[in-house]
Amino acid sequence: MATQAADNSALDIETGTAPDAVVVRFAGDSGDGMQLTGGQFTLSTALAGNDLATFPDFPAEIRAPQGTLFGVSAFQINFGSREISTAGDAPDVLVAMNPAALKTNLDALKPGGLIIIDTGEFTKRNLDKAKYDVSPLEDGSLAKWKVLAFDISALTIEAVKPFGLGNKDALRSKNMWTLGLALWMFDRDRQPIVDWLNAKFKNKPDIAGANIAALNAGHAYGETAEISGPLEQVHVAPVSSEPGLYRTITGAEAVSLGLVAGAQLAGLPMFFGGYPITPASSILHHLARMKEFGVTTFQAEDEIAAICAAIGASYAGQLGVTSSSGPGIALKTEAMGLAIMTELPLVIVNSQRGGPSTGLPTKTEQSDLYQAVYGRNGDAPLPVIAASSPADVFECAIEACRIAVEYMTPVMLLTDGYIANAAEPWKVPDPESFEPFEVEFLTETNNPDGKVLAYKRDEKGARPWIKPGTPGLMHRIGGIEKQQDTGNIDYDPANHQAMTDARKAKIDNIAIPDQGVTLGDEGGKLAVVGWGSTFGPIRRAVDNCRRRGLDVSHLHFRHVWPLPANSGELLRKYDKVLVPEMNTGQFKTVLRDQLLVDAKSYTKTSGQPFKIAELEAAIELALES
Amino acid sequence: MNAPVKVETTLKDWETDQEVRWCPGCGDYAILKAVQRTLPQLGSDPANTVFISGIGCSSRFPYYMETYGFHTIHGRAPAFATGVKLANPDLDIWMVTGDGDGLSIGGNHLLHVLRRNVNMQIMLFNNEIYGLTKGQYSPTSRIGTKTPSTPIGSVDRPAQPCAFALGAGARFVARGFDVSKNLPDVLKAAHAHQGAAFIEIFQNCIVYNKDVFNEFAAPKGAEDRQLWLEDGQPMLFGSEKTGGVKGLKFDRQNCCLEVVDVVDGDWEAAGVLVHDVTNRSAAHMLVELPFGEFPMALGVIYDDPRPTYESGVIEERKRASEGKDTSIAKLLAKGQTWTVSGTAQDPV
């Protein structure tokens, strides 16, 4: 690399200078509560006014055998006094709660970075489980990092003694002790965490007390312990952001809120049919708690029933929504075809994960694009929208609802495991700022000569939405080819041609905004084209390259099907087009097919997001070749 | 749910202008007429009635009913119907399925719509064959059924639709057959039942499985082979003309039903059981009676309502919404927030 990437700014602990960004990774056993620790640290970071991005990285097993390498759960956060667009390439600080956590996360740590280790867990047994022959604390293998090793387990047990818990229960507070230390390190307020613990354990005051005691003890340890060497307080200044009200938000929360807002803008109650699947289940969980907003959630017997019930609800006049991840989306495919044939609105959210088959349930990937765009029997087009970040999903969900009801079509909204789980600060939008798109159902016949024409199209190509229960408008719909206008069964060759064309034209002509340049110039040597959650790393990599004087621009696509009308014209203004994707080149294929541009791939399918450094290297290579 | 308003209609009002495309002589015609004859008697409103089906011969049914209709995909009609009912509980839903659609590809959904107890009438046309795909054996075909896919006879044991329904937790189970004059009464009882009402209708596929139900459905000998159940009435069949009146008695020793002769009409002396539609144990025995040794149990076998799924969902939503703020602005700003004013930070 020619220069240090901005997101890689080293945490200069020794000189005590304020860094503009810090990356911290909490790693422990999947039973150690690292995701909780990370989540609360995120909240305190947001409240301190830093910009941030997070990356929860956990195993598919719920309680993997303790101490094992595959049972390690990690949470990475990048926060700073400037705009943060990724969870960071390499941590400055690694908190390792056991030998397995150290081993699996050490490679990522920046040279000179700080490791905080709980020596209480570095027993012979745990070292064996982590496949260490010799303790790394003793063999000098950690020499290139700063190591702060002490017995967090014992200190926690000591701190919670007054609560009379057994050792096993007492050790559950270890994560709060660690969080307390981290809060001290970065000079954070403990009160929000104390409030949260009190609320969480409202009915178990002893447990709340023990956790708070552990939190305070960890904090006090940092403050008072006489530690020579690496542990010093670090101040990361607040970022200057647009004035307004802020909160942190994960993608799963944002998509739920966006769907609720979208249904309200459409003036409709929402029906959500879901089936548990990682990493999409949290959308079902969030919506199940929003019943007062006219939301019905239905946990179906399987993925197929989830989408079918949602289509049934749309048919009856509600906004049907379903959500899943790749394997579940595969099961829903036939029903999507029916929604396309019967031209009913529907929003399908796909939180993509590593595939094929069961693949990597808890890891992220963008490999369902072909499935979304092409993956149905027959000529069955539907619009596909992809979200770039947790905050962006909110707007994308509203957009999906709008297109679904205005065009009487199912819409696929793509997110991924990274977006679903990651958190970022979010400027709370004013709901009034969104244009309503209130639905008008057909209430009187649209045919002066008699029977209602259920497939008479409007200027957008959409058929009327007719609720069962409306007097005089009885009609039948189904998956068999429809006669134009009437919607009666019709096998006539010319009619099938006309209906296939009409379904295609409706989707092709959906009004979407023109594609713009996300960062850089309209034309030049290289366009880096992205979609979905690669937004952050691409933006940062392009920004870094441009600062070094390279002629490169970033074009991020939200609408991946149909493509914005000006896409071809715009991309042809660049000598080269590079498409980084977490798949084997799917959007590249769509661009080449639709626009006849010579797009080249840069791909990765490791279940991990792109690193900025990787992308910068790929950009340099593309410019040189 | 609003009380449905009775509407005056005639059979004609329920017929569509679409040409009926079943094979001439198909049992489906008789079922269609029975339904079209029953709905005016119920005072049903065509605009408030929805027929929802899956795939198969039976599932073409909605196209011939001048109501709202949704011909969906293979086996999934129960899921669509559940969504429709949850979205608008006031709609009167009739689901139409078959032995292949409902018990093979859609067995899972049928199980769940019954256990959830979504208020609708479910008519399963059982012809023990796949008709629309040209005659393969179905999950209700008897062992040894010879078809294109089982040229030397099927070897798997058939499913029993009513036993399946009871096992799934159905609160209403009834049986009828296509040309039976009693079918409208069975349909009316199903309609009156609040909850998922399951009706197995034996249907004669004259092309691929002709007359397989003749053993009990043929008019000749019907009295001896059909046990029409009526709530509060003794379980009697046969007649003096055809070799004597018989009844079903509970065999205590073997914990099963047995056939007993009734002498001089004194069924009480013979120990004949009185049908109680709320007796679940009796229902289990009635749906499993081996035909031949026993008559075919027909009519309303079981009818014991429980609260419906949609009423539970509505009630829960009401409870969860009580006293809650429904401002979207407040929802968006939920949780811990902070305000940025100018460039300074103000954690709140």
Same domain, B270 and B290: no
Q: Quick check: is B204 in a domain?
A: yes
Residue of B nearest to A319 (CA): B87
Cβ-based contacts under 8 A for chains A and B: 206
Q: Quick check: is B2 in a domain?
A: no
Q: Quick check: is B101 in a domain?
A: yes
Same domain, B261 and B190: no
The pLDDT of residue A59: 83
Q: What is the CATH number of the domain that holds B49?
A: 3.40.50.970
Q: Quick check: is B23 in a domain?
A: yes
- Contact B339/A257, CB-based, under 8 Å? no
The pLDDT of residue A239: 87
Same domain, B81 and B167: yes
User: Residue A549: is it exposed, middle or buried by C-beta count within 10 angstroms (0-12/13-18/19+)?
Assistant: exposed
- Contact A311/B332, CB-based, under 8 Å? no
Q: Both tokens of residue A531?
A: 């979609």
Residue A383: asked if its preceding bond is cis (omega within 30°), the reply is no
The pLDDT of residue A9: 42
Same domain, B30 and B156: yes
- Contact B73/A479, CB-based, under 8 Å? yes
**Residue B86 sits at the chain A interface (C-beta within 8 Å):** yes
Q: Quick check: is B61 in a domain?
A: yes
- Contact A429/B332, CB-based, under 8 Å? yes
pTM of the model: 0.93
CA distance B76 to chain A (A): 7
Among candidates B81, B109, B320 on the partner chain, residue whose Cβ is nearest the Cβ of A292: B320
Q: What is the pLDDT of residues A373-411, one digit of tens each?
A: 999 999 999 999 999 999 999 999 999 999 999 999 999
Same domain, B196 and B293: yes
Q: Quick check: is B258 in a domain?
A: yes
Same domain, B213 and B255: no
* B311 vs A contacts (CB less than 8 Å): none
Helix (H, G, I), strand (E, B) or coil at A266: helix
Same domain, B247 and B184: no
- Please list, residue by residue across A575-597, b when 16 or more beta carbons sit within 10 angstroms of its beta carbon and e when fewer do: ebbbbbbbbebbbbbbbbeebeb
The pLDDT of residue A203: 94
Same domain, B243 and B158: no
Q: What is the pLDDT of residues A258-291, one digit of tens each?
A: 999 999 999 999 999 999 999 999 999 999 999 9
Q: Quick check: is B4 in a domain?
A: no
CA distance A290 to chain B (A): 8
* B71 vs A contacts (CB less than 8 Å): 476-480
* B111 vs A contacts (CB less than 8 Å): 301
| Contact residues for A71 (Cβ-Cβ < 8 A; gap 6+) | A29, A30, A31, A59, A61, A63, A64, A65, A100
The pLDDT of residue B270: 97
Of A500 and A17, the structure prediction assigns the larger pLDDT to: A500
CA distance A516 to chain B (A): 28
Using an 8 Å Cβ cutoff, are B132 and B105 in contact? no
* A480 vs B contacts (CB less than 8 Å): 71
Residue of A nearest to B324 (CA): A292
Q: Which of A247, A473, A474 to mutate to test the interface with B (most CBs of B within 10 A)?
A: A474
- Among A462, A190, A468, which residue's Cα sits nearest to residue A344? A462
The pLDDT of residue A585: 98
pLDDT over 80 at A16, yes or no: no
Confidence grade of residue A226 (pLDDT, cut at 50, 70, 90):
low
Helix (H, G, I), strand (E, B) or coil at A333: helix
Residue of A nearest to B87 (CA): A313
* B15 vs A contacts (CB less than 8 Å): none
Residue of B nearest to A429 (CA): B332
∠ CA A35-A38-A42, rounded to 5°: 135
Helix (H, G, I), strand (E, B) or coil at B339: strand
CA distance B91 to chain A (A): 7
- How is B278-295 classified by DSSP, letter by letter? T-HHHHHHHHTPPBTTBP
pLDDT over 50 at A14, yes or no: no
Same domain, B180 and B89: yes
Give mean pLDDT, residues A454-474. 98
Same domain, B153 and B265: no
**Residue B82 sits at the chain A interface (C-beta within 8 Å):** yes
Give mean pLDDT, residues A28-57. 92
pLDDT over 50 at A92, yes or no: yes
* A316 vs B contacts (CB less than 8 Å): 83-84, 87-88, 91
Mean pLDDT by runs of 10 across the 348 residues of chain B is: 80 95 96 98 98 97 98 98 98 98 98 98 98 96 97 97 98 98 98 98 97 96 96 96 94 97 96 98 97 97 98 96 93 88 49
The pLDDT of residue A223: 85
Same domain, B78 and B106: yes
Give mean pLDDT, residues A481-510. 97
Residue A356: asked if its preceding bond is cis (omega within 30°), the reply is yes
- Contact A474/B337, CB-based, under 8 Å? no
Q: Which of A256, A318, A476, A489 to mutate to test the interface with B (most CBs of B within 10 A)?
A: A476
**Residue B67 sits at the chain A interface (C-beta within 8 Å):** yes
Same domain, B110 and B72: yes
Q: How many helices (H) and strands (E) does chain A have?
A: 20, 20
pLDDT over 80 at A228, yes or no: no
Confidence grade of residue A229 (pLDDT, cut at 50, 70, 90):
low
**Residue B225 sits at the chain A interface (C-beta within 8 Å):** no
**Of how many residues is chain A composed?**
625
Range of the domain at B218: 11-227+276-310
Confidence grade of residue A450 (pLDDT, cut at 50, 70, 90):
confident
CA distance B217 to chain A (A): 33
- Contact B79/A470, CB-based, under 8 Å? no
Among candidates B79, B329, B331 on the partner chain, residue whose Cβ is nearest the Cβ of A305: B79
Q: What is the pLDDT of residues A174-214, one digit of tens each?
A: 999 999 999 999 999 999 999 999 999 999 999 999 999 99
Confidence grade of residue A160 (pLDDT, cut at 50, 70, 90):
very high
**Residue A164 sits at the chain B interface (C-beta within 8 Å):** no
Give the separation between CA B348 and CA B332, rounded to whole angstroms. Answer: 16
Residue of A nearest to B88 (CA): A316
Q: What is the DSSP letter of A98?
A: S
The pLDDT of residue A224: 81
Give the separation between CA B319 and CA B313, rounded to whole angstroms. Answer: 10
pLDDT above 90 coverage of chain A, percent: 88
Confidence grade of residue A18 (pLDDT, cut at 50, 70, 90):
low
**Residue B2 sits at the chain A interface (C-beta within 8 Å):** no
**Phi/psi class of residue A497: alpha, beta or left (left: φ > 0; alpha: ψ in -120 to 50)?**
alpha
**Residue B284 sits at the chain A interface (C-beta within 8 Å):** no
CA distance A255 to chain B (A): 12
Residue of A nearest to B17 (CA): A488
Residue A279: asked if its preceding bond is cis (omega within 30°), the reply is yes
Give the separation between CA A603 and CA A615, rounded to whole angstroms. Answer: 10
In one-letter notation, the amino acid at residue A445 is: T
Q: Which of B5, B13, B22, B80 to mutate to test the interface with A (most CBs of A within 10 A)?
A: B80
Count the neighbouring beta carbons within 10 Å of the beta carbon of residue A490: 16
The pLDDT of residue A15: 43
Give the separation between CA A354 and CA A59, rounded to whole angstroms. Answer: 13
The pLDDT of residue B21: 92
The pLDDT of residue A5: 36
- Contact B86/A296, CB-based, under 8 Å? yes
Confidence grade of residue A242 (pLDDT, cut at 50, 70, 90):
confident
Query: What is the bridge-based pairing of β-strands A410-416 and A423-427?
Result: unpaired
Give mean pLDDT, residues A542-569. 97
- Among A34, A77, A110, A54, which residue's Cα sits nearest to residue A186? A77
Give the separation between CA A287 and CA B53, rounded to whole angstroms. Answer: 29
Residue of B nearest to A247 (CA): B337
**Residue B83 sits at the chain A interface (C-beta within 8 Å):** yes
Q: Quick check: is B123 in a domain?
A: yes
CA distance A421 to chain B (A): 17
The pLDDT of residue B346: 43
pLDDT over 70 at A544, yes or no: yes
In chain B, how many domains are there? 2
Q: Which of A242, A246, A470 to mutate to test the interface with B (most CBs of B within 10 A)?
A: A246
∠ CA A120-A126-A128, rounded to 5°: 145
**Residue A133 sits at the chain B interface (C-beta within 8 Å):** no
